[in-house]
Amino acid sequence: MEILPDSRLHVPKRVVRGEHKTANYKNMLNWVPIFCANCGVEGGFVPEETCNFAFYLCQSCADKLPPLEGTYVEPDVVFWEKVKLAQLETYGRELAAEEIV
């Protein structure tokens, strides 16, 4: 059995404190950066307290490498289209970057 590497740093650096909002709930969380498991490019943030594993491949590496057996790969374009649709359904509009952060 192959185990995927964790895309978080062993010792978190550049932790960002930010608000996590849902329809009825606001919570301040620490967000830690994740990095591409192949090339190391930064790939966003995950919640520090509730995330115990994260595997990330950037789109460039995902395009170059063969699919990983036993995993599901969703292209960034498809993912962000789903995010857009969820925002339209929940808020009636696309959120600004500041609102997402």
Residue 58 lies in a domain: yes
Threshold 0.75, pTM exceeds: no
Host H or E run for residue 31: strand 25-35
pLDDT for residue 15: 86
**Does 56 reside within a domain?**
yes
- Position 38 in a domain: yes
Tally of domains in the chain: 1
Please name every residue paired with 30 in a beta bridge, in sequence order, or none if there are none: 17
Does residue 92 form part of some domain?
A: no
Residue 75, beta-bridge partner list: none
pLDDT of residue 2: 66
CB 49 within 8 A of CB 30: yes
Q: Is residue 21 part of a domain?
A: yes
In a domain, 86, yes or no: no
Report the pLDDT value the prediction gives residue 60, as an integer from 0 to 100.
92
Residue 88 lies in a domain: no
Domain limits for position 45: 16-67
What is the mean pLDDT of each successive set of 10 residues along the chain, which is 101 residues long? Answer: 83 81 73 94 90 91 86 77 91 84 66
Domain assignment of residue 60, yes or no: yes
Whole-angstrom distance, CA of residue 48 vs CA of residue 94: 26
CA–CA distance, 22 with 25 (Å, rounded to integer): 5
> Around 50, how many Cα atoms within 13 Å sit in the side-chain half-sphere?
9
Distance CA(7)–CA(13), nearest Å, equals 13
